[in-house]
Amino acid sequence: MDRRRFLLRSSGAVALPLVMSGLPMHAFDGPMLADMFNTAEETDRVLVLVQLNGGNDGVNTVLPLDQEAAYMAARPGLAIPFSKTLRLNDTTALHPQMTGLQALFGEKKLAIVNGVGYPNPNLSHFRSTDIWMSGSASNQVVSSGWIGRYLSTAYAGYPDGFPNATMPDPIAIQMSAVVSLALTGASQQSMGIALQDPETFYALVNSTKATGQGLPTSAEARANVEYVREIQAKSEQYSAVIKAAADKASNIADYPDPLVNRLAGQLQVVARMIAGGLKTRVYVVSLGGFDTHAAQVEEGNPEGGLHATLLNYVSEAMAAFQRDLEAHRVDDRVVTMTFSEFGRRVDANLSLGTDHGTAAPMFVMGTPVVDGVLTAYPSLSDVEQGNLKMAVDFRQIYASILEQWFGANPAVLREVLFQDVSTMPIIKAGSTDPTSVSADAIAGALTLMPVVPNPVRDEARLRYSVADGNDARLDVFDALGFHVATVTGQLNDGVLEAPFVVRGLPSGTYIVRLSNGRTAVTQPMVVVR
């Protein structure tokens, strides 16, 4: 086989395990930095991705207080009494085991995006995971990942020339036995190197055979082994900086037992890496067990059981991680985002469980996030074949993070996500470095006020202003990123104002976008019937 096929098939097998504090880690590096942030200045922003493997039941994770009757009717045996839930506002509550995230919500450090999915959903774990990891449509089969494509735009030709003075550290680290599809670059390179805990890794390095020794006789096999050794040499270079970061910082916050709560253990190591000064940009952690077809709850005790335990792990681990970042005073640099391959069906099954479904909530955590419940909860009674109707395409969340956190421009987003995708406010205005993107204004040139009323039934008022000498256009996109309308405003008391009639539009979340060809600002608009 050729080198590319060899690497694709062996990306996990050739990796050497990194273990820190008893946890396996996978570091990957590749062409990433300058274009990743799409700005003249280097930033130190970090994204932490938390994968909930198995398809998390979003209906019992975030509960709709204003749909109690439909909820109770759909989930006999599984329905949690609303009196025992953790109330966030008049319409939304969390599972009783998620006290850590409830506290962060009250401190305005947590955003909830309801109804996230994708069109024509696939209910296979493997295929749906591929779709989320690749950032592609359900009818596309893509062998690269959304983060990998984004990261691979900066440094073509890796591993030559890396590490270097500009980026001496791994660009991203995944806590896993293998590098996931999400981290596969545009040319299908895994970009993965393997590390162990520093002492074991150094022992491995010292025993590595010299170049040219112990090679197979076959020319193709010899070329592949030489390439693997080249990647191994890179891992040797990175081992010292990872060890230095691990040794430099200790955890300040109290974490759950990492041998019990594996997610807490992973985030504990990530916090040390960040606080220790590692310039790594993306971390990926995961927790499995969410495929709850049976015994999701305890019989007669719907707020207990397997799912409750898993949600407690997630909540306590993420809360401890945030507290650790705050104690180290690096919390303004880090945004954490959860995702799962799909949600579960609205109705309970006959085994005290739930079957594969579609849309589900996502959590975005951190000091820099736009806090609150950002989108309306999907209807539990107006469903499609027993599944929630999607309100937000997951690629909108990806695009919003890339644009507002890492500063990616529309051209980069289009390349990464294969199409123009609308964004929604996820990151607060005025964050800590020059890449911050305001939800209301960018460089003072564009200002887009919140939609009034919102939600809207008949007609919305869109109000905006454009600095002198700037041309701009106002567009409306649906949740899939498709263009709905271009709106023209009339000057009224110094502000441009445009009425927008929504009659005839389906219920759901829409994005109002004001752009001038160089940048754009957005506001969400929810249409209800």
Task: Please enumerate, as own/partner, the contacts of 353-356 that have beta carbons within 8 Å and a separation of 24 or more.
Answer: 353/78, 353/292, 353/293, 353/294, 353/295, 353/296, 354/57, 354/59, 354/60, 354/78, 354/292, 354/293, 354/296, 355/293, 356/55, 356/123, 356/125
Q: Is the pLDDT of residue 337 over 90?
A: yes
Read off the pLDDT band of 242 (50, 70, 90): confident
Looking at 422, 438, 458, the residue that finishes a domain is 422
Average of per-residue pLDDT across 328-342: 96
Report the pLDDT value the prediction gives residue 375, as an integer from 0 to 100: 94
Read off the pLDDT band of 511 (50, 70, 90): confident
Average of per-residue pLDDT across 464-493: 79
Tally of helices (H runs) and strands (E runs) in the chain: 12, 23
Inside any domain, residue 85 = yes
Q: Are 369 and 517 members of one domain?
A: no
Report the pLDDT value the prediction gives residue 443, as an integer from 0 to 100: 42
Lowest-confidence region among 150-159, 444-453, 479-488, 502-511:
150-159
Read off the pLDDT band of 21 (50, 70, 90): very low
Above pLDDT 90, what percent of the chain? 48
Q: Are 159 and 260 members of one domain?
A: yes
Report the pLDDT value the prediction gives residue 357, as an integer from 0 to 100: 96
Instruction: Give pLDDT tens digits for 206-234.
Output: 444 444 555 666 777 777 766 666 655 55
Q: Is the pLDDT of residue 322 over 90?
A: yes
- Report which of residues 237 and 111 the model is more confident about: 111
Q: Which two tokens stand for residue 510?
A: 């829409």
Q: Are 490 and 379 members of one domain?
A: no
Average of per-residue pLDDT across 140-152: 87
Inside any domain, residue 309 = no
Report the pLDDT value the prediction gives residue 243, as an integer from 0 to 100: 74
Instruction: Give pLDDT tens digits for 275-311.
Output: 998 888 889 999 999 999 999 999 999 999 999 999 9
Sheet holding 86-87, edge to edge: 62-64, 92-94, 86-87
Of the candidates 450, 447, 451, the residue with the CA atom closest to the CA atom of residue 467? 447
> Which letter, b or e, does each residue of 171-190 get, where b requires 16 or more Cβ atoms within 10 Å of its Cβ?
bbbbbbebbbbbbbbbebbb
Looking at 387, 422, 457, the residue that finishes a domain is 422
Report the pLDDT value the prediction gives residue 519, as an integer from 0 to 100: 66
Total of domains in the chain? 2
Report the pLDDT value the prediction gives residue 439, as an integer from 0 to 100: 39
Q: Are 12 and 149 members of one domain?
A: yes
Read off the pLDDT band of 336 (50, 70, 90): very high
Q: Is the pLDDT of residue 195 over 90?
A: no
Q: Are the CB atoms for 280 and 273 separated by under 8 Å?
A: yes
Computed on alpha carbons and rounded to an integer, the radius of gyration of the chain in Å comes to 24
Say how far residue 118 (Cα) sits from the centre of its chain.
Answer: 15
Lowest-confidence region among 155-159, 386-390, 460-464:
155-159
Q: Is the pLDDT of residue 88 over 50?
A: yes
Q: Is the pLDDT of residue 500 over 90?
A: yes
CA distance 8 to 384: 37
Q: Are 88 and 151 members of one domain?
A: yes
Of the candidates 464, 403, 370, the residue with the CA atom closest to the CA atom of residue 475? 464
Inside any domain, residue 429 = no
Cis-peptide into 455, omega within 30 deg: yes
Instruction: Give pLDDT tens digits for 167-177.
Output: 777 888 888 76
Q: Are 452 and 330 members of one domain?
A: no
Inside any domain, residue 413 = yes
Inside any domain, residue 516 = yes
- Report which of residues 439 and 368 the model is more confident about: 368
Of the candidates 206, 213, 214, the residue with the CA atom closest to the CA atom of residue 239? 206
Q: Is the pLDDT of residue 77 over 60?
A: yes
Q: Are 101 and 180 members of one domain?
A: yes
Please tell me what DSSP assigns to residue 74: H
Q: Are 343 and 482 members of one domain?
A: no
Report the pLDDT value the prediction gives residue 397, as an integer from 0 to 100: 97
Question: What average pLDDT does the structure give for the chain?
Answer: 81
Q: Are 7 and 40 members of one domain?
A: yes
Average of per-residue pLDDT across 67-72: 97
Inside any domain, residue 439 = no
Report the pLDDT value the prediction gives residue 44, as an integer from 0 to 100: 81
- Report which of residues 245 and 120 the model is more confident about: 120
Q: Are 395 and 510 members of one domain?
A: no
> Which letter, b or e, does each residue of 223-233 get, where b requires 16 or more Cβ atoms within 10 Å of its Cβ?
ebbeebbebbe
Instruction: Give pLDDT tens digits for 408-424.
Output: 888 889 989 999 999 99
CA distance 476 to 474: 7
Q: Are the CB atoms for 356 and 345 separated by under 8 Å?
A: yes
Q: What are phi and psi of 106, to 5 degrees?
A: -65, -25
- Which residues are bridge partners to 454 per DSSP? none
Q: Is the pLDDT of residue 341 over 50?
A: yes
Q: Are 129 and 163 members of one domain?
A: yes
CA distance 440 to 520: 10
Report the pLDDT value the prediction gives residue 68, as an integer from 0 to 100: 97
Angle subtended at Cα 267 by Cα 417 and Cα 261, rounded to the nearest 5 degrees: 115
Report the pLDDT value the prediction gives residue 196, as an integer from 0 to 100: 39
For residue 308, what is the enclosing H or E element?
helix 306-327
DSSP-H helix ranges across 179-256:
198-206, 219-248
Above pLDDT 70, what percent of the chain? 76
CA distance 60 to 127: 24
Of the candidates 289, 307, 287, the residue with the CA atom closest to the CA atom of residue 298? 307
CA distance 107 to 6: 49
Of the candidates 426, 387, 421, the residue with the CA atom closest to the CA atom of residue 55? 387
CA distance 470 to 459: 27
DSSP-H helix ranges across 109-261:
125-134, 146-151, 198-206, 219-248
Read off the pLDDT band of 379 (50, 70, 90): very high
Residue type for 276, please? G
CA distance 461 to 450: 9
**CATH number assigned to the domain comprising residue 476:** 2.60.40.1220
Report the pLDDT value the prediction gives residue 123, as an integer from 0 to 100: 93
Kindly report the number of other CB atoms within 10 A of residue 18's CB atom.
Answer: 26
Average of per-residue pLDDT across 386-390: 95
CA distance 307 to 60: 9
Q: Structural domain of residue 466, as residue ranges?
A: 446-527
Angle subtended at Cα 23 by Cα 143 and Cα 366, rounded to the nearest 5 degrees: 75
Inside any domain, residue 437 = no
Inside any domain, residue 311 = no
- Report which of residues 441 and 50 the model is more confident about: 50
Report the pLDDT value the prediction gives residue 74, as an integer from 0 to 100: 97
Query: Which range has highest mean pLDDT (18-27, 64-73, 180-189, 413-422)?
Result: 64-73
Q: Are 354 and 209 members of one domain?
A: yes
Looking at 388, 422, 456, the residue that finishes a domain is 422
Q: Are the CB atoms for 386 and 59 separated by under 8 Å?
A: no
